[in-house]
Amino acid sequence: MLIVKKFGGSSVADNEKILNVARRCIEDYNAGHKVVVVLSAMGKTTDGLIAQAKSINPNPSPRELDMLMVTGEQISVAMMAMAISSLGVPAISLNAMQVKMHTTSTYGKAMFKKIEKERINNELDSGKIVIITGFQGINKFDDFTTLGRGGSDTTAVALAAALHADACEIYTDVDGVYTADPRVVPDAKKLDEITYDEMLELASLGAKVLHNRSVELAKHYGVPIIVRSSLNREEGTIVKEETKMMEGVVVSGVAADKNVAQISLLEVKDEPGMAFKIFDALANKKIDVDIILQSIGRDDTKDILFTVSRSNLSEALEILNKLKDSLGIKKIVTDDKIAKVSLVGAGLRTHAGAAAQMFGVLYNAGINMKMIHTSEIRISVIIDEAYADRATRAVHDSFIC
């Protein structure tokens, strides 16, 4: 069997944890399997590197920021190779340049295009455990890129797909995927299994246990993912196409995202093409827009409200301020103290009263909703950030406990 095993930052935070991971990988190796290990940077290294970059330049170029961030994963793979060798098993660490993991060009948000298999297969065939940097790639300029925060999960799934691995295991600091973040909702329940679609919604809506692109890739290539703890032997959660939907189970989870900001464009000229010009300008700079609301027009003007990632707010404002006069936007107002709380479940499709129930729960908790967005399998509300955890617990209590 060929097994891809990915360990997150907290699982490799110090020497003792690195040695614990090394032993787990060696168990599979000794059982006769080929083992590819994908690692994140140790502990909070990536946060530290970003702070270091900003300490010398508050607006570092995305290329240089990626060049700096990729060093974090290089430390952990080299340390792991040394740890495994110290336990008597041959191992080699490789970065994205050495493997040739090709991505699109955009720094900080790159997407995999092609992964060369030759070097990995050669090293595996020579009997080594192969340890690969997560989170990074190379682009057509032969520069390092990164995949976005939490992107090592995506590296693992992309490798599992490219190498036709028999298993893709994502090890983290919780026992699997829960019905809500177990650190916020102590009553959250561990799920034995969850569909790609539900996991994709949860991951995209803030449940950082898996990077959303990793779930997208897993669905596309049909790679089942097992999410489990690096600290114990619990079974974990399987993310796959179909699950045994239990009768009466409507909701698979509640997610909260605090990386959200709202932009309100007030008194925009009410004529065709305005929305196109605004959102096209943002899309050209790769700024994703989430919930969009438009008011009914009055006096030949209308308001357009939407949300972006908080990390994109200043860039979005820069673009909008440039367009302000030519598009006749009277005023731009922002709010970056908001959060999005979402209820997710395939059963919501057929559960008519779910939205009313969720709004009732928030009303009873005294929480005001600023925006609402629904799809077939989710209901999201924008609220004050200060209430995010309380809202998550209240919604979870009402639907899941």
State the residues that interact with ligand ADP by CB under 6 A. 8-11, 40, 150, 172-174, 177-178, 180-183, 202, 207-209, 253
For 271-294, b/e burial (b = at least 16 CB within 10 A) is eeebeeebeebbeeeebebbbebe
Q: Which of 13, 22, 41, 185 binds ligand ASP (CB under 6 A)?
A: 41
Which position among 152, 195, 342, 398 is part of the footprint of ligand ASP (CB under 6 A)? 152
Stretch that binds ligand ASP, among 146-154, 160-168, 193-201, 299-307 (CB under 6 A): 146-154
Binding of ligand ASP by 176 (CB under 6 A): no
Residue 230 is a binding residue for ligand ASP (CB under 6 A) = no
43 is an interface residue for ligand ASP by CB under 6 A: no
Based on CB atoms, which residue is closest to ligand ADP, 231 or 292? Answer: 231
Helical spans, DSSP H, in 100-229: 118-125, 152-162, 196-204, 212-221
Burial class (CB in 10 A: 0-12, 13-18, 19+), 171: buried
Answer with the entry of ligand ASP, Mg ion, ligand ADP, none that 46 interacts with (C-beta below 5 to 8 A by kind). ligand ASP
Residues 17/178, Cβ–Cβ less than 8 Å: no
With tokens 């041959």, the residue in question is 90
Among 310, 273, 297, 37, which residue's Cα sits nearest to residue 160?
Answer: 37
Contact predicate 144/66, CB 8 Å: yes
**Interacting span for ligand ASP (CB under 6 A) from 147-155, 214-222, 235-243, 333-341:** 147-155
- For ligand ASP, which residue of 33, 113, 149, 189 counts as binding (CB under 6 A)? 149
39-47, 288-296, 297-305, 352-360 -> range binding ligand ASP (CB under 6 A): 39-47
Question: In angstroms, what is the minimal distance from the CB of 310 to ligand ASP?
Answer: 16
- Dihedral sign of CA atoms 57, 62, 64, 69 in order: positive
Residue 183, binding choice from ligand ADP, ligand ASP, Mg ion, none, Cβ under 5 to 8 Å by partner class = ligand ADP
**Closest residue to ligand ADP in the complex (CB):** 8
Q: How far is the CB of 275 from ligand ADP (least distance, A)?
A: 33
Give the total of residues touching ligand ASP (CB under 6 A). 12
Residue number with CB closer to ligand ADP (95 or 154): 154
Binder of residue 193, out of Mg ion, ligand ADP, ligand ASP, none (CB less than 5 to 8 A by kind): none
* CA 137/CA 152 separation, integer angstroms: 11
* Residue found under tokens 């959102």: 279
Examine residue 150 and tell whether it contacts Mg ion (CB under 5 A).
Answer: yes
Pick between residue 54 and residue 183 the one whose CB is nearest to ligand ADP.
Answer: 183
| Residue 72 near Mg ion by CB under 5 A | no
Q: How far is CA 84 from the centre of its chain?
A: 29
Rounded (10°) CA dihedral 317, 320, 324, 326: 160
Instruction: Retrieve residue 297's tokens.
Output: 């027009």
- Applying CB under 5 A, does 151 fall inside the site for Mg ion? no
Distances (CA, A) of 53 to 29, 106, 108, 272: 39, 19, 14, 43
Sign of the alpha-carbon dihedral angle for 82, 87, 92, 96: negative
Q: Which residues bind ligand ASP (CB under 6 A)?
A: 8-9, 40-41, 46, 72, 134-135, 149-152
Q: Which residues bind Mg ion (CB under 5 A)?
A: 8, 150
